[in-house]
Amino acid sequence: MNMRLFVIGVCGTLMSGVARLGVDLGFEVIGIDQAFNPPVSDALAEMKIQLIEHYPNKVVVNDSDLVVVGNKVSRSLPLIQFLIANQVKLYSAPEWLECFVLRKRSVIAVAGCHGKTSTSAMVAHLLSELGEDCGYLIAGALCSGKPAAHLGSSKYFVIEADEYDSAFFDKRPKFMHYWPSHLILGKIEFDHADIYDDFSDVLKQYKYLLRLLPEGANVVSQDLPLALCDQINAFSLKHHRVASNKIDYPLSIKGAFNQTNAALAIQLVHALGFKRGLCEQLICTFKGVKRRCEQVYNNKVEVLDDHAHHPTALNSLLDSFDHQRIHLVYHPATHTQKLDVHIAQTIKALNRVEFPMVLLPKAHALKTAVYEQASIRVLHEVALIDSIMQQVEEGDKIIFATPYQLTDLMTSLIEQLEKKYCELL
């Protein structure tokens, strides 16, 4: 009988990747979550693993079984209380990856506040096209149709590495488990206000991350705080700076910010010993990651979906367009957003477009009056669709900027757009 791997909270992007890697390693994988909805449910179904919908109060765990717990799973869950009472060893996803996947691999970690998903997917794409059967774990669905996680057989493993905590019992940043051999560092800013006090608190975690790199490791970045440059020099790391204002690759994907992502990916792969010119050619065949400036509808009106949730990401997204008739739906659904930590910068970014809107999330502490005073409409779902339909004109762009997929809302909006423009034919 195969060893069993219980993945609790399997519908998370990281956790579904753990499940796939578990299958690749030969585990009998059992995925548990409260509910299973597309597109994650479709990906899990392809793996042909056992799925348990709704958290049971208990499961039978043998001595040879392993249990991985997602960082959104609560300590108060009866299933977790049962496992703890029975002294079952619980792994956070990053710890499990460290122990069973990353050890003895040449780990390429992609960290920073912005661009991790796209950049890590680009690195994996380049290495694959260059003949490396690299392993990878991407926290997003690939537009190529390839799975978001792959064990691979080469020495390289590419992983998206964020600074958020690992589980309710493991409060270290995820990236502290990955022990990178090489590192890409995107722009670092204050985020995750629910677990970090300020920017210096965030920066401290990156200092610790750099201490894990071996001497001579490649570190690729665009801009770095001085404190991290000092760490790089102290530990004899090879620092490669990328000047994003000098690049213009003929990419097949939208988003001006992807020029920076591509430059970081190319520089890292080149630092590994591959020819830069060939990397620059191959990056243009990269098909992108879903929900990164993804076009979801284009008929008289274009609808785009993007993961942007930080003011810097909003500005980078808007830099991709010179079209002024933009309806921007900002959905502040992360812990940091709900606390309005970056409210001044967010309002400034939203007011770059003609029609800015805030879609109210559940259980928030938003200063709605401040948004409304800045001429930004704050709306619930039904009112938001009505508002867009009253103002939209042929040739407009509607952009959703949200950390979470709003499939039902966008489907309803697209149905209204189809009805409006079909009636005009």
Position 137 pLDDT exceeds 90:
yes
Name residue 7's beta-bridge partners: 31, 68
80-128 pLDDT tens trace: 999 999 999 999 999 999 999 999 999 999 998 888 999 999 999 999 9
Residue 262 banded pLDDT, cuts 50, 70, 90: very high
In this structure, the answer to whether residues 217 and 281 fall within a common structural domain is yes
Distance CA 385, CA 414 (A): 10
Give the distance, in angstroms, between the CA of residue 323 and the centroid of all CA atoms in the same chain: 27
Same domain, 247 and 124: yes
pLDDT of residue 366: 81
Same domain, 80 and 113: no
Mean pLDDT for the stretch of residues 184-188: 90
Report whether pLDDT(322) > 90: no
Residues of the domain holding 247: 96-285
Q: Do 93 and 68 meet the contact criterion of CB atoms below 8 Å apart? A: yes
- Whether residue 125 contacts residue 286, with contact meaning beta carbons closer than 8 Å, is answered with yes
Tokens of 381: 């779902």
**CATH number of the domain within which 30 lies:** 3.40.50.720
Do residues 78 and 181 both lie within one domain? Answer: no
Beta bridge partners of 156: 106
Given 38, 59, 88, the domain boundary residue is 88
Mean pLDDT (the chain) is: 89
pLDDT of residue 425: 46
| More confident: 112 or 190 | 112
Element (H, E) at 77: none
Q: Give the pLDDT confidence score for residue 222 in this predicted structure.
A: 86
% the chain with pLDDT above 90: 53
Average pLDDT over residues 244-253: 78
Do both 160 and 192 map to the same domain?
Answer: yes
**Same domain for 186 and 313?**
no
Residues 106, 47 share a domain = no
Domain boundary among 57, 88, 119: 88
Do 101 and 29 share a domain, yes or no? Answer: no
- Residue 142: give its domain's CATH number: 3.40.1190.10
Q: Are residues 196 and 54 in the same domain?
A: no
- Banded pLDDT at 313 (limits 50, 70, 90): confident
Average pLDDT over residues 22-35: 94
CATH (domain of 379): 3.90.190.20
* pTM score: 0.86
Percent of the residues in the chain that have a pLDDT greater than 70, as a whole number: 98
Are residues 200 and 245 both part of a single domain?
yes
Query: Are 190 and 322 within one domain?
Result: no
pLDDT class of 424 with cuts at 50, 70, 90: low
Among 2-16, 32-46, 146-160, 397-411, the minimum mean pLDDT is found in: 32-46
* pLDDT given at position 255: 77
- The domain tally of the chain equals 3
Mean predicted confidence (pLDDT) in 329-333: 87
Q: Please check the confidence at residue 387 and state whether its pLDDT lies above 80.
A: yes
Binned at pLDDT 50, 70 and 90, residue 247 comes out as confident
Answer yes or no: do 261 and 306 share one domain: no
- CB 223, CB 243: distance < 8 Å: no
Pick the last residue of a domain from 235, 256, 285: 285
Mean pLDDT of 399-412: 88
